[in-house]
């Protein structure tokens, strides 16, 4: 699970993506590492200006510097998605820096502790929901007006999870938040489709990101066994689906929820 338009043509190979996002600006939360960074890199390879937004200001700065070294037009901004004023400032920074906002990927998220619902720490529950669900709402709350102001449509992808469609024992807060992200995505998509703004969601399975590095081998192998594909996903694989949803190749795709899960939810 993840704890994160404009184009005429493209390929699935980032190095051959050409300029499908040329002249567009993308705002990506939780982009200092993992799925967020892979997505920022993919969009930058397609010609987009990319803003790396993350709670980890140092990590965001390093990620932006790395992308610049790769020839990407990138900038970094610190953001706390649990605070609407922080998100508003980060979106304003994006518009001030690059002139407009066209694409957004709301990926910031946390995992939270593991415990049964009847024993779950109340403060931890609210912390997870504030980040994973409220953070997506706060992001769209300020991204959407910025896209409307630019007057050229736009596209948003919210990063939910496989746990936006199924349950997972011991993760009531995470599961509730990710189900909420899917519902919020569908609602906003219906509201803004006529204005040329497309809003969709992706549901990654367990992805081999830094969040899993601290797991012991037995637990890691247990996660792999849950995926009929026989492995965990790669952040770049999720980024490719996100890039598709942000591109004009997905011009009639509104309010959808795309699973990227190695058949986890198919059995």
pLDDT digits (tens, 9 = 90+) for 25-50: 999 999 999 999 999 999 999 999 99
Question: What's the mean pLDDT in 68-78?
Answer: 98
Q: Give the fold, CATH level 3, of 19-260.
A: Rossmann fold (3.40.50)
Asked if the model's pLDDT at residue 5 lies above 60, the reply is: no
What is the predicted pLDDT for the residue at 1? 53
Asked if the model's pLDDT at residue 167 lies above 90, the reply is: yes
Taking the domains of the chain in order of start, what are their residue ranges? 19-260
DSSP 8-class letter at 207? B
Q: What is d(CA 95, CA 102) in angstroms, rounded to the nearest whole number?
A: 10
Asked if the model's pLDDT at residue 15 lies above 50, the reply is: no
For residue 235, the tally of other CB atoms under 10 A from its CB is 23
Mean pLDDT of the chain: 93
Q: Which residues are annotated as catalytic?
A: 174
Asked if the model's pLDDT at residue 182 lies above 80, the reply is: yes
Radius of gyration, CA atoms only, the chain: 17
Condensed to tens digits (0 to 9), the pLDDT of residues 108-145 reads: 999 999 999 999 999 999 999 999 999 999 999 999 99
Q: What is d(CA 42, CA 39) in angstroms, rounded to the nearest whole number?
A: 5
pTM: 0.92
What is the predicted pLDDT for the residue at 215? 82
3-class DSSP assignment, residue 154? strand
Q: In terms of C-beta density within 10 A (0-12 exposed, 13-18 middle, 19 or more buried), how is residue 111 classed?
A: middle
What is the predicted pLDDT for the residue at 210? 64
């Amino acid at each position: 699970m993840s704890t994160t338009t404009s184009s005429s043509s493209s390929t699935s190979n980032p190095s051959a993506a050409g300029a499908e996002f040329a002249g567009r600006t993308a705002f990506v939360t939780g982009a200092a590492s993992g799925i967020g960074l892979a997505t920022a890199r993919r969009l930058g390879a397609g010609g987009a200006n990319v803003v790396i937004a993350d709670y980890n200001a140092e990590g965001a700065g390093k990620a932006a510097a790395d992308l610049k070294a790769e020839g990407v037009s990138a900038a970094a901004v610190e953001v706390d998605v649990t605070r609407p004023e922080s998100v508003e400032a980060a979106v304003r920074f994006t518009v001030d820096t690059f002139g407009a906002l066209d694409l957004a990927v709301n990926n910031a998220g946390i995992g939270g502790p593991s415990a049964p619902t009847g024993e779950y720490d109340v403060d931890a529950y609210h912390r997870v929901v504030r980040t994973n669900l409220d953070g997506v709402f706060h992001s769209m709350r300020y991204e959407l007006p910025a896209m409307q102001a630019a007057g050229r449509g736009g596209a948003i992808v919210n990063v939910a999870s496989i746990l936006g469609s199924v349950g997972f024992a011991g993760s009531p807060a995470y599961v509730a938040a990710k189900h909420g992200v899917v519902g919020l995505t569908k609602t906003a998509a219906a509201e803004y489709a006529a204005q040329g703004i497309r809003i969709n969601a992706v549901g990654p399975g367990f992805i081999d990101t830094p969040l899993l590095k601290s797991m012991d081998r037995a637990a890691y192998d247990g996660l792999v066994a849950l995926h009929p594909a026989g492995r965990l996903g790669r952040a770049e694989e999720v980024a490719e689906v996100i890039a598709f949803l942000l591109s004009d190749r997905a011009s009639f795709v509104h309010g959808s929820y795309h699973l990227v899960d190695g058949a986890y939810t198919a059995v």
